[in-house]
Structure 1
Amino acid sequence: MSRIWTIYLSGEIHSDWRERIAEGVKVTNLPVELTGPNTVHADSDDCGVAIFGAEPDKFWHDHKSARLNAMRTGTLIQEADIVVVRFGEKYKQWNAAFDAGFAAAMDTPYITLHPTEHDHALKEVNAAASATARTPDQVVQALAYLINGTMPA
């Protein structure tokens, strides 16, 4: 039996990039398990108060959820073989930058995924990355090469 690679997909939740990577992994038959954060925005924002009780102060409301999400994210990044960090076009993903830094601190290789217009803003994040991709297809091609030594068709 071949090794199963764990790939953590971090970052932007407003586009289909995760689904495109999942489809590419399936089509290329890569031995990969994809993990990631809770991508249901409302659940991620409100898990803390749903579990531990309401908070009248928005700071503490967010704090409860952020701590739960940080436990999930930290655990999954530590278990990952590779982290893919997506920075989208529309929103600033401070959490994605934190995840990239956490992966770097854990010595977990990561690939950044973002458009060229973010190159300057992400220059330090990219400098610590093992690779920078522009499209989900490039991520799949990189994974195919890393796992099987397969060059793009």
Structure 2
Amino acid sequence: MVQRATDRIVALPSAGDAQQYALDVLMQLLPLDPHRRAELEVNIALVAEAPALPELVTIRNHAYQQLGEGCTRLVELLTGRPRDEHILHQARRLHALIDGLALHLLMQFPSEDSVWAIEILREELARIASETSA
């Protein structure tokens, strides 16, 4: 699951526009097609089953940490700033937004429009990029 998402992200062309690149990366983590939807369902199952099956905790935590690190790197890219407490706070916020959008998208019918979620994400990336100093 993590490897599939990583492979998709690594295959993305690195655009000159940091906001577009960040959007392209994060869209790979949202259930916007049947394959990504299945990946999210597996991830949610891991989270749900981890208390009963301790051997799943490592897998669950790895996926969580990878997403957190990815969000931190994207915030660094968008702001042009090195990692500090403000960057980490913005990364946690972005991580929570991705998780929330993913759940909302999973709850709607696959045939429903997902443009609303991409717009919310685009707006958040623009907000982060506008904070080049704080």
Q: Which has the higher helix share?
A: 2
Could you state the TM-score of these two structures normalised by the residue count of structure 2?
A: 0.29
Higher RCO, 1 vs 2 (CA within 8 Å, ≥6 residues apart): 2
Could you state the TM-score of these two structures normalised by the residue count of structure 1?
A: 0.27
Point out the structure with max Rg over C-alpha.
1
Q: Which has the higher strand share?
A: 1
